[in-house]
Amino acid sequence: MKKIIEVTDAQGLESLLGENVLLLCSAYFYTGKLVGVNETYVELSDPSIVYETGKWTDKGYTDVQRLHCKTFFVSRHAIESFGVSK
């Protein structure tokens, strides 16, 4: 039997599991669905790299390119900030 379990004590990245996120990292920006989090890495499915955001008020990014893989791992220590992507 499968059940839906609601986790109420999740904070930070863990609270965004299942959401499309934008990771602002020290070298690049990444976007995709956050599907995994551990102490060392986060896992994105359908990942893309954002080379140019454009105006933050715009709905999309000026230059975003899909990565040629189904999942992509980003080191947590490289992430400077993060949030739900539009």
Can you list the domains of the chain with their CATH numbers?
A: 17-57+69-84 (2.30.30.100)
pLDDT band at 9 (very low <50, low <70, confident <90, very high): confident
The mean pLDDT of the chain is 91
Q: Count the neighbouring beta carbons within 10 Å of the beta carbon of residue 85.
A: 20
Write out pLDDT tens, residues 19-29.
Answer: 999 999 999 99
| Model confidence, pTM | 0.85
Write out pLDDT tens, residues 35-56.
Answer: 999 999 999 999 999 999 999 8
Cβ-based burial of 68 (10 A; exposed 0-12, middle 13-18, buried ≥19): exposed
Which pair of structure tokens corresponds to residue 48? 């893309």
SS3 content of the chain, % helix, strand, coil (to 5): 10, 50, 40
